[in-house]
Structures are given as C-alpha cells and as structure tokens.
C-alpha cells in the first residue's frame, strides 16, 4: 500500500513520489494514532488544530451513526434539515450578538472565499465597484484556494508561484506587538496609514485574531486587534475575522476575538467545528452585511454541492455539546501552564530563538529550518507525532491530553532539539 501511495497519491505541499514513505495510520483512539506496526504515538497536532476531543469519541461516533441511518446527504438548494438548523442556532448563540446569518461550506478555505465574496458583493450590490481590494497582513494564512491565497503572506504564501494570476491585494506589516507586550500606538501605524491611503478601494480587512497560525505561529496583542476594529469603523471598511484555527477554545477563550472584545462583520470558523471528524466550515455575518449584499435584488453567489452536509452538521452539534459539557477552559489553562513550564527548558538551547505559549498552543521558534524527515522520525521514535514547519516546532494537542502524555511530548521536543543543536542540516 505504501508503494502505491508513493507512486499515485499526492500529499499536502509534497513532491509526488517522495523519497520517504508516509507514516501509515491504521486507527486512532484518544490522543493516540496507531501505526501499521502497532506502535501508538501521541498526536500533538490535533490533526492540524481540529481533533480537540481526541479520536474515536463515543458520542461523536453515535451522532454520525444515528444521522447516517436518517440521511447522510441531501442538497441544500431548496431543502433544509434539522442538523443544519440546530447547528446554525448554536453558532449564532455562541458567537458575538450581531452575527446572525450563517453560510455553511465544506472547508476553511471555502469559508474564506465566501467571506471575501460577501465583502465584495456588499459594496457592489450597493453600486460601489471601486472597493475591489482586501487589506491583509504579512505572516497571515487563510487557506489554499485562489481568493484565500491572495490574502496570505505575500512572501511565505504562494504569491510567487502564482505571480500574475492572483488578485492583487494590499498588505500591512504583521502585528508587531506580542501578546503580553506593553502596547504602543507605533505598532498600528503601518496598518493605519495603508488604510488611510487606500480605504476607497478596500472592501474589507482580513485577519486571524490574536494568533497568526500557519504563516508564522505568532501571538499578538489584543490592543492591536482593538485598534484594527476602530480603524475599520473610521474608514467604513468591513472586518473579516478568520477563526478557523483559533475557534472553539484553542487560545483559552471560546473565540480568540474575545481577548479583545471586538465584534467582526464576518467570521469564519472550521477545523474543530466537527471535533475534527469531517470537513465542515461556516461563514457568519450580520443582518446589515446581508442587507447590503442583497441590495438591488442580488443574492450571495455561492452554493457548494455538500453545503451543510447533514452528517457533518450532526457531528458538529455533538462536538459542541461535548465541548460545553466538558471543563474545556480549565483543561486549556492547565495545558497552557504546563507548556509554559516545560517548554521553558528549550530557551537554554543554542538553536532556539524563542518559546511562545498561548492557551493550548506551544511554539518553539528555531534560528534555522529543520530537516523535516529527520525530525519527524526522531519524534515518532519518542512516541510523538509532530509536524514542524520551516523553523517552527509547534504543538496544539487535543484538550483531553493528560499531564503525563503532555510531558512525553514536551520532553520529546527538548530531547530532539538538543540533538538538532548538533545536527548538520547540510548533510
């Protein structure tokens, strides 16, 4: 099977026919992935932010089985169903008050595409076609589809690969004030001046609240986000918050924008929405934005085949129920405290630039890029699944991880980075 995979199946951001085999997962339970040889390793990535309750969870399994015996999928054009209605109601209840219109889609990237369409259609339907750009941020990441790519970091994103094809947007400097750092107005100057100079052609600002994820794993000041909201209002520009990675408790708040008590015009959620069981995302917006979109008889121009898939919605409902029935705040706080304490050892290593922790997210930034194959195997040998990216070794475990399991992960990071300090990456 591994030979077949190597020859025929493409994996994320990887060459076809790669030199090394993929890691073969047979099954998963709790925080553990079981490999083909029976070895069990801790998934410290929550399958890219999504598996917050761990794998193979009874209530989520039951929700899927129950729903599959009713209807696993039905088109959403002209039809509706209970799982979608219940989920929309719940999302409206748990997000900021003005957000009361929900568009379901099948992935985070598509949720971002929908958010961008909402923003552009909001202005166009009201007769303003001049607003045809988005103001985004360096080090931002919003997905891999064309609209989403066009608002990702222009250097580490895919702008070079798709030069001349991607829509040209405007970029402000990445938030420069770290999460717990003393706020200073100088940090917002670049954003403020880009907005002041270009607001007539800017439809919306898009930003990941508090944590810039895949573009650099950077945690920034709530004051920065507050200032972004104030300036969007001042210049009459919509604010899109991308909570696809941070939503559902990951940063210690249910949604990361709560750190800054700001309210977006458009909000994107995904990943942990179904507890990582299946692909589902949502774009929420206000009555006011939809009124704008629908001016002059227009409608929002999007409608995926698997929109509001009943199976995914049923599991999402069960996942949210499980989250709210659990002491998730205490769990995330305990993970944060333990990560802070145990990852601090990394600071003594020459190869380490900085250690950052917020909620159930731990980041060790190195002063050089890792050898991905070498490091992944080292972690597997120590019973841990981690997937470093460039010079970042980062962890976002399922909330159910025990202190002992978490120590196994942090100790693996410390030990492997000690070895990496002496490892010659040119070999």
Ligand X SMILES: Cc1ncc(COP(=O)(O)O)c(C=O)c1O
| Active site positions, annotated | 13, 141, 242, 271
Pick the binder of ligand X from 213, 216, 275, 310 (CB under 6 A): 213
Residues 6+ apart with CB under 8 A from 198: 133, 135, 170
Query: Which 3 state secondary structure label does DSSP give 373?
Result: helix
Query: Which 3 state secondary structure label does DSSP give 353?
Result: strand
Taking the C-alpha atoms of residue 427 and residue 416, their distance in angstroms, rounded to an integer, is 17
Residues 6+ apart with CB under 8 A from 316: 83, 87, 273, 274, 275, 280
- Residues 231-260, mask of contacts with ligand X (x by CB under 6 A): -----------x-xx---------------
Interaction of residue 384 with ligand X, rule CB under 6 A: no
Nearer to ligand X, 259 or 378 (CB): 259
Interaction of residue 142 with ligand X, rule CB under 6 A: yes
Compute the least distance from the CB of residue 128 to ligand X, in Å. Answer: 27
For residue 397, the surrounding DSSP H or E stretch is none
Compute the least distance from the CB of residue 20 to ligand X, in Å. Answer: 23
Going by C-alpha positions, the residue among 328, 178, 183 that lies closest to residue 253 is 328
Query: Candidates 80-88, 139-147, 196-204, 412-420 — which segment interacts with ligand X by CB under 6 A?
Result: 139-147
CB 380 within 8 A of CB 41: yes
Pick the binder of ligand X from 136, 214, 217, 357 (CB under 6 A): 214
Nearer to ligand X, 385 or 423 (CB): 385
Compute the least distance from the CB of residue 175 to ligand X, in Å. Answer: 14
Classify residue 169 by burial, with Cβ atoms within 10 Å: 0-12, 13-18, 19+. Answer: buried
Interaction of residue 112 with ligand X, rule CB under 6 A: yes
Taking the C-alpha atoms of residue 170 and residue 161, their distance in angstroms, rounded to an integer, is 18
Return the residues of window 45-104 that contact ligand X according to CB under 6 A: 48
Compute the least distance from the CB of residue 333 to ligand X, in Å. Answer: 23
Binding positions for ligand X, rule: CB under 6 A: 48, 107-109, 112, 141-143, 208, 213-214, 242, 244-245, 270
């Amino acid at each position: 099977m591994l030979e077949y995979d190597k020859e025929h199946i493409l994996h994320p951001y990887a060459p076809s026919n790669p030199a090394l085999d993929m890691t073969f997962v047979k099954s998963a339970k709790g925080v553990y992935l079981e490999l083909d040889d029976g070895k069990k390793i801790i998934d410290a990535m929550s399958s890219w932010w999504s598996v917050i309750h761990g794998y193979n969870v009874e209530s989520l399994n039951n929700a899927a089985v129950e729903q599959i015996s009713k209807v696993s999928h039905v088109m959403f054009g002209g039809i509706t169903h209970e799982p979608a209605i219940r989920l929309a109601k719940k999302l409206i209840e748990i997000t900021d008050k003005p957000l009361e219109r929900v568009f379901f889609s099948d992935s985070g990237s598509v949720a971002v595409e929908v958010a961008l369409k909402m923003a552009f259609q909001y202005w166009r339907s009201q007769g303003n076609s001049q607003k045809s750009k988005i103001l985004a941020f360096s080090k931002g990441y919003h997905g891999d589809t064309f609209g989403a790519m066009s608002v990702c970091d222009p250097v580490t994103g895919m702008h070079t690969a798709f030069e001349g094809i991607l829509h040209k947007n405007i970029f402000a400097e990445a938030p420069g004030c770290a999460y717990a750092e003393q706020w200073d107005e100088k940090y917002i100057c670049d954003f403020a001046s880009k907005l002041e100079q270009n607001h007539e052609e800017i439809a919306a600002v898009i930003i990941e609240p508090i944590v810039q994820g895949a573009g650099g794993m950077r945690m920034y000041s709530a004051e920065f986000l507050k200032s972004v909201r104030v300036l969007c209002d001042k210049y009459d520009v919509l604010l899109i918050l991308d909570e696809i990675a941070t939503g559902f408790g990951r940063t210690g708040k249910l949604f990361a924008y709560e750190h800054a008590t700001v309210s977006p015009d458009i909000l994107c959620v995904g990943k942990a929405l179904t507890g990582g069981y299946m692909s589902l995302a949502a774009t929420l917006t206000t009555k006011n934005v939809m009124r704008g979109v629908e001016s002059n008889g227009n409608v929002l121009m999007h409608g995926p085949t698997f929109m509001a898939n009943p199976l995914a919605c049923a599991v999402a409902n069960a996942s949210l129920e499980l989250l709210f029935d659990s002491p998730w705040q205490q769990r995330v706080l305990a993970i944060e405290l333990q990560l802070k304490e145990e990852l601090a050892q990394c600071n003594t290593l020459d190869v380490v630039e900085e250690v950052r922790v917020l909620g159930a997210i731990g980041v060790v930034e190195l002063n050089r890029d890792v050898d991905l194959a070498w490091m992944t195997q080292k972690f597997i040998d120590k019973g841990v699944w981690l997937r470093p990216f460039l010079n970042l070794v980062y962890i976002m475990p399922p909330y159910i991880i025990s202190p002992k399991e978490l120590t196994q992960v942090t100790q693996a990071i410390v030990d492997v980075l000690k070895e990496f300090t002496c490892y010659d990456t040119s070999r």
